[in-house]
Every structure is written in C-alpha cells, then in structure tokens.
Amino acid sequence: MKAQQFRNLPDLEQDLMELVRQVPAGRVSTYGSLAEALGNPVAARWVGHFLLHHQHRPDCPCHRLVRADGSLGQYAAGGLPEKAQRLAAEGVEVQDGVVDLLRFGFDRFQSGRPLARLTRIQEEIAAEVSLRGRRASPRLVAGVDVSYTSSAEGVAAYVLVESRTGRRLWTKTIRRPVRFPYITSYLSFREIPLLLDLIDEVLAAGQMAELLLVDGSGILHPRGAGIASHIGVAASVPTIGVTKKLLCGRVDLDDMDALESRPVLYNGKEIGAAIRPTAGSRRPIFVSPGNRVSLATAESIVRRLLLGRRLPEPLYWADRLSRSDARAGL
C-alpha cells in the first residue's frame, strides 16, 4: 500500500456541490440521498452541516435539499419561509413545512461515489494489517495526535518518550491545511496526510520510535482499518490505536476496577480492549492493535504507559502539545 494514496484524496466538498446542482427545479432530494450518492449514507450528517455553512451564492440550488421525512430543514440563505417560497416558485408543494417525497423526490444522481472508493482502500489496508510482531516492550515509544485551528488547519504532534519512565525525550509539531472533512469511520483520510508528513520529518531527524501510539482506532473499526492501521501499513511501522470513544463493537463496562480490562467484541471476534485507566476515571479508553502488534501486546504496552493519567504518557503529551500549538501558532 503506497503512502501516496493518502495524499491524493477526493475533494468531497466539490463532489457534493456537483451533486446538489444535479437536483432539477421542481424536485427535491435529501441529505441521505446525497450521502448515498457520495458512497456511504453515514456521511448524511456531514452533508447537512456543510450545506448549512457553505459559501452560499444566489444561484445555489441548496434550497432543494430536505430531511429524510420531507421536512424542510435549515437553509444557509435564510429562514424556512424563504426556503419554502423558493421551492413553491419552482412548483414544489410545501404542506405544513413538509414536501411529499413520493411526488417531488429525486435521487437519480450521476456520481463517482468517492466514499465507496475510500472504503475499498480501507478494505485493502485491513487485508495488509499484520497482528504479528514484537512481544517485548519497546524502549522508546512515541505518541501522535492532531488538533485543529479555527482556520481549517491541523497541527500534528509527535512526542517520543522512554517507555520505562514516561520521560519525554524529543518532540516535533507541524502545521498543514486540512481539506478532508470529518466523517465518522473515515477519520484516517482527514489526518493521515498530515501524520505522514510528520513521520517523514521525524525520520529525517533520526528520532523515530520503535512503536507509535495513535489517537484513533486500529482494527477496532467497522472495516478493520482505523487510522492506527492506516499509518502502520502506509509507513511500515508498528502501531497501537487508543481512543476515548468506542467506534464499534460491544463491551461490558459495568463495575470496572482501576486498570482492569474487558474484551471488545465485534462480529463475534475480540478486536480490542477497554481499560479503565485510573481509579479516578470512570470512563475507559479503548485499545486495539494497528499493525505489526498483537492485541495482547498492545494491551500490555498501553497498560505499562498508564502512569496516573487517563491517556498513556506518549498520547497525553502529544494531545497537550498539538492543542497548545494549535491555539498559539507555531
């Protein structure tokens, strides 16, 4: 799998607006239909958010988009009366704020389905993931995390630590524009171009760790390829994913003791572990191997790096560093 695949990504905003322009006058479509035309209905929430906040022009046909039940939803250029008035002028009947989708609905889009193509990349990544690798605890571990500014930029941080003590040895941050939106289960494509650039600079400085902890899922992902797996395969490095939220799967979280772990099951397989990091934290973290690490080894390494905080030390400091640089500028 070539890293270049993650640097040449579709322009989803442009693709979405091309679909919006396909909805003819006198018809309406839904946010879900647009998401399906992009390649995955999970993008419906992003579609609605983007259309509410996009750079609206007078000739924009976004008033032709409604919710799944036919209700008008919000409108970037004004209130619901204005949206209803524009639809009525095109021959669309609006009764009590609702459009009859059986009469006026449109979903015959011509689309390259870019999200479907990205799904195939995830499936290819999942097929390349290896859960075999080192068993001994590495001497040097790094954490990587990304935070965002208010100007569509991302700040990626790398923090190298000594695994035995958690002592910070070296840090690096970079700032880049971020063009891919946040869509659940597609986080990799938003952050990987930035993280691969960061890893290139780390390698050039001779400061690459034996193993990376990544703020994101590994195989604990609906398609078995979260961001930790993407980085592990694309950069050929051992990785572990650590998240604060469970993206998929089932786990019993009742009455967990401090540092206790519970298996996360998905489709009948154990693909991750929930760990309660401290006695003072009721919320667990979720650990899964990314690449070239077994589940048992991933859990063991993360447990050793939990030194009284909710996050393991490399990720705790990477999170703080990316946030502080995002606020202050580099």
At residue 113, the pLDDT reads 98
1.10.1740.10, 1.10.10.10, 2.60.120.10, 3.40.50.11810: which CATH number matches 3-113? Answer: 1.10.10.10
62 is catalytic: yes
Gap between the terminal Cα atoms of the chain: 32
Whether residue 251 contacts residue 265, with contact meaning beta carbons closer than 8 Å, is answered with: yes
At residue 1, the pLDDT reads 42
At residue 5, the pLDDT reads 62
At residue 79, the pLDDT reads 86
At residue 136, the pLDDT reads 75
Among candidates 318, 6, 329, 314, which has minimal Cα distance to 164?
314
Catalytic residue among 37, 62, 251, 293: 62
Q: Give the Cα separation of 36 and 161 in Å (integer).
A: 43
What letter represents residue 65's amino acid? L
At residue 152, the pLDDT reads 84
Domain 129-328 - what CATH class? alpha beta
Give the pLDDT of the chain (330 residues) as one tens digit per residue. 445 666 678 999 999 999 999 999 999 999 999 999 999 999 999 999 999 999 999 899 999 999 999 999 999 988 899 999 999 999 999 999 999 999 999 999 999 999 999 999 999 999 999 999 866 789 999 999 999 998 789 999 999 999 999 999 999 999 999 999 999 999 999 999 999 999 999 999 999 999 999 999 999 999 999 999 999 999 999 999 999 999 999 999 999 999 999 999 999 999 999 999 999 998 999 999 999 999 999 999 999 999 999 999 999 999 999 999 999 864
For the chain, give every domain's residue range.
Answer: 3-113, 129-328
Q: How many angstroms separate the Cα of 187 from the Cα of each of 76, 114, 178?
A: 26, 15, 12
Burial of 171 (0-12, 13-18, 19+ CB in 10 A): middle
At residue 99, the pLDDT reads 98
Q: Give the Cα separation of 231 and 1 in Å (integer).
A: 11
Write out 19-59 in H/E/C secondary structure: HHCCCCCCCEEEHHHHHHHHCCHHHHHHHHHHHHHCCCCCC
At residue 150, the pLDDT reads 80
At residue 78, the pLDDT reads 83
- How does pLDDT run across 25-35, given as a tens digit for each residue? 999 999 999 99
At residue 282, the pLDDT reads 87
